[in-house]
Amino acid sequence: MTKARILALATTAALSSLLLGCAADGQAPNALSAGSPVAAVETAAVATPATIDNFMLADTDYMGHELYRSGAKAIVIITQSNGCPIVRNLSPALKALKAKYEGQGVEFLMLNSAIQDSRDAVAKEKADYGFDIPILMDPNQLVGEQLGVTRTAEFFVIDPKTWKITYRGPLDDRLDYGSQKATAEHTWAADAIEATLAGRQAMAANKMSPGCLVDFPNRKVAKISYSKEVAPILEKKCAACHTEGGIGPFAMSSYEMVKGFSPMIREVLRTDRMPPWNVDPHVGKFADDKSLTPTEIKTVVHWIEQGAPRDGTTDPMAVAAKKRVVQEFPLGKPDLILALPTYKVPASGVVDYQRPIVVNPLTEGKWVKASTYVVNQRQAVHHFLSGYLKDIPADGKGNESRWGASMGGYAVGAESTLWPKNVGTYLPPGGAIGFQAHYTPFGKDVVDASKIGLYFYKDGEKPGLVMRNSVVVDNTIVIPPGEARHKETAYLNVPKDMLLYSAFPHAHYRGYASDFWVEYPDGTKKLLLTMPRYDFNWQREYSFAEPLKIPAGSKLIAHYWYDNSKQNPANPDASKTIVWGDQSWEEMFYTAIRYRWTEETSAKLTNYDQLMDETRLLAMFDDNLDGKIQKAELKGELGDKLSPYFAQMDQDKSGTIENAELMAALKVMGGRRRDQAQQAPAPAPAAPAPKAGGGR
C-alpha cells in the first residue's frame, strides 16, 4: 500500500476499520482484527506504572539511548509498530509537536516493542513516513512490558526529575475509532508536556488511546525456576567475575546473595551494563561471546519480576562457588614469564591508565603462539593490553601509540590469548613490551604484582602463517565543547586480500559509540561490529567467530561518536575542545585489528603493511570517503598546519588533494614533520614488519 493511499484512507471514515484491523502492507493483522472492540478495552487495561525504570536501548541506527542519562526537562515516548496507519498518520503532528517543544528541552523518543518488526524494516518505515525521532528497538519487550504498553500511538510523558509518568494516552482527541475531527478539542499530550515543564500536575493522566495492539507473549509467563533456569545462566555468564576475590563487587555464591542483589541484577540487564560485552548482539558473530541471549535476559528479568522465588533443595550457585578454582596457567608452563612492574592501587579515587614497560630479555626472536596473564589483584585490575616496542622508550612509558605487534590482552574471563593453529606473531629480540594497565580502586589499598606468560613455537616448528596487527586510527579528531554526539570517521585501504580475525574499538572518557564496517571494492558495505554504547571501563578484543575475508581494494571504516556534553558522567570537562592524546582526558580514535595477509607465509614475508600505511594519513582526513581531501577535511593539529598550503599542495589544481599530492607535500615538509613526530604520537602505530629470516 502506498503512503498516499494510506493517508487518503486515514482521512476518511475508513480510518476506523483500519485502526481496528491495522493490517497494512500485507502484514498479518494483529490480535485486535480477529477480536472485537470489547476485547480491546480489556487488553488496554494493563496498569500504568507510577514511574519508568531505567533502560538502554539502541535505535534503528544502533545509537544507544540510556533513559536516565537524558538531560531533558521532559521526555515523551510514543509507541510505534510498522504498518499501523494511526502511527503513520501521526507523522505531521509529531513533527509539529517536536518543533514546538524540542527547543524547550523536551526529548522525543519512539519505542518499538513489536516482535514481528526487524530493525531494518523499522528503519525503512521511519524513512518512508518521515519520522525524525529516534525509534528505539525493544526486541526483548522488557521496556514495553514495564510501561504496560498495549498499543501503538500511545504517548507517555515523563518527568525526569522523578521519573514519574505524568501522562499516558493519545496525542489528542482528534482521532477515535470510527470518527475523526478536523481539529482537536483536547490536546492532552501537549497539555501534559506544558504541565511537566512547569512542574504542575497534568489535567488528564490516563486516557484510552486508539492504536494498534502489540503482542506481548511473555507478559504472563509460568513460574520460572531458580535452580533449573536462572542459576545456570548466572553461573555461566556472571560468576567468573562475581566470585570471592573476583573483580565483581559481590559474589554470586548463593541464592541469598542473588536474591539480595536481584533488583540491581534486573537494572544492569535492562541497561545492558552487565555482563561487560558492549557490541550489539544483532551484528556479527563472535567467538567466546559473553553476552546473554534474549531468552536468558528475559528469563532472569522475569524471574526477578516474579519476586525471585527459590525452589529445589540444593542451591546450584553455592555448590558451584565451592568448586571454583582459578588455575594460574591453564595452558601449562609458559616459555617466558615476565613480571609487570608492581603498582600500588589506592583504596578509592580514579587511577589513570598506566603504561609500564618490561624490557625484553630475549636474545633471539621467537614466534608467539599464546599468552596468559596471571592477575595478582583480580579485584583491582580491569584490563591489560600489550604491544612490542622496538626501542626501549627513554621516558619509560609504553604508550600504545608506539606499539608494534600485540602480545595479547587480559579482560576478566579472557586471561589467555591463543593464536589460531599454525599462526604466530613474531617477537624480535631486544626492545621492550609496553602495557596499558587499567586499575580500578575497590575500597582497599593493594599492590598489584601481575605477570604475563608467553608461549612460543618451539625450534623447528615455526608457524606457517603470520598474525599481524594494525589500527584504524584518526589523530585528526577535533571534538567541540558541549557536543553530545560528535562523529568522526577514518578508514584503512586494504591493498591485498586479508583475513580479519578481530577488532577492538578504543576511545577514552568521551567515547559514546563506535562501529566498524567493510566497504567492498564494488561499493557495497557490511557492518562488522557496532557498539551502541561504548564503555571506557571495559576494554576487550572482539574476535569474529570465523575470520572474515576482506578482498584487496576494500576499505575498513570506523566511526566514533563522542559525548563532550555535561550529560556524560565520565566527562572531566565539557567546556574544552578535545583533540587526540594519550591521556584519558584527551581522546582517541583507535580500532585495533588482528589479521593475516592471505598470501603471506612466515617463509615469505610481505611489505603489505607498508602498502596499507601509504594511504593511512589521507584516510584519516577523508571523512566523506571519496578518496581525496577537501579543504574542510584538513582538521586537527596536522590539518591546521597543512591547510594554509592547500593551493600549493593541489598541484593539478583539481580542487582536492590526492594521495600523491599529500605525500609530496609531506616530503617537502620533511624536516619540520620529523620534529613534530617527536612531539606528537606517530600517526601509524602499525606492526613493524618482521625481518625476513628473523623468525628463526
Q: Is 276 one of the binding residues for ligand HEC (CB under 6 A)?
A: yes
d(CA 138, CA 174): 28
Q: Is 100 helix (H, G, I), strand (E, B) or coil?
A: helix
Instruction: Identify the residue among 55, 155, 261, 491 touching ligand HEC (CB under 6 A).
Output: 261
Q: Is 237 one of the binding residues for ligand HEC (CB under 6 A)?
A: yes
Q: Is 413 one of the binding residues for ligand HEC (CB under 6 A)?
A: yes
Which segment (111-119, 238-246, 317-325, 569-577) binds ligand HEC by CB under 6 A?
238-246
Instruction: Identify the residue among 292, 345, 619, 638 touching ligand HEC (CB under 6 A).
Output: 292
Query: In angstroms, what is the minimal distance from the CB of 326 to ligand HEC?
Result: 13
Cβ contact 178:217 at 8 Å: no
Strands 74-80 and 106-112: parallel
Instruction: Identify the residue among 7, 46, 264, 362 touching ligand HEC (CB under 6 A).
Output: 264
Query: In angstroms, what is the minimal distance from the CB of 323 to ligand HEC?
Result: 18
Instruction: Identify the residue among 238, 301, 531, 593 touching ligand HEC (CB under 6 A).
Output: 238
Q: Is 242 one of the binding residues for ligand HEC (CB under 6 A)?
A: yes
Angle between helices 670-679 and 659-668 (to 10 degrees): 90
Instruction: Identify the residue among 97, 158, 265, 550 touching ligand HEC (CB under 6 A).
Output: 265
d(CA 667, CA 191): 65
Instruction: Identify the residue among 37, 71, 249, 464 touching ligand HEC (CB under 6 A).
Output: 249
Q: Is 372 helix (H, G, I), strand (E, B) or coil?
A: strand
Q: Is 600 helix (H, G, I), strand (E, B) or coil?
A: coil
Q: Is 416 helix (H, G, I), strand (E, B) or coil?
A: strand
DSSP structure class, residue 426: E
- Sequential DSSP letters for 318-352: HHHHHH----S-TT-S-SEEEEPPPEEE-SSS-PP
Task: Pick between residue 11 and residue 537 the one whose CB is nearest to ligand HEC.
Answer: 537
Angle, CA of 226, 229 and 230, to the nearest 5°: 55
Strand partners, 175: 180
* Residues 518-537, mask of contacts with ligand HEC (x by CB under 6 A): -------------------x
Query: In angstroms, what is the minimal distance from the CB of 300 to ligand HEC?
Result: 7
Q: Specify the DSSP element, H or E, that contains 649.
A: helix 646-649
Instruction: Identify the residue among 189, 317, 389, 412 touching ligand HEC (CB under 6 A).
Output: 412
Which segment (129-137, 267-275, 317-325, 661-669) binds ligand HEC by CB under 6 A?
267-275
- Number of residues interacting with ligand HEC: please give it, by CB under 6 A: 20
Q: Is 448 helix (H, G, I), strand (E, B) or coil?
A: strand
Cβ contact 405:468 at 8 Å: yes
Query: In angstroms, what is the minimal distance from the CB of 576 to ligand HEC?
Result: 26
Q: Is 627 left (phi over 0), alpha (psi -120 to 50) or beta?
A: left
Which residues fall within 8 angstroms of residue 26, CB to CB, at 6 or more apart? none
Task: Pick between residue 159 and residue 235 the one whose CB is nearest to ligand HEC.
Answer: 235
d(CA 487, CA 307): 43
Which segment (124-132, 147-155, 240-248, 679-687) binds ligand HEC by CB under 6 A?
240-248
Task: Pick between residue 439 and residue 562 the one whose CB is nearest to ligand HEC.
Answer: 439
Task: Pick between residue 264 and residue 666 the one whose CB is nearest to ligand HEC.
Answer: 264
**Contact residues for ligand HEC, defined by CB under 6 A:** 237-238, 240-242, 247-249, 261, 264-265, 268, 273-276, 292, 412-413, 537
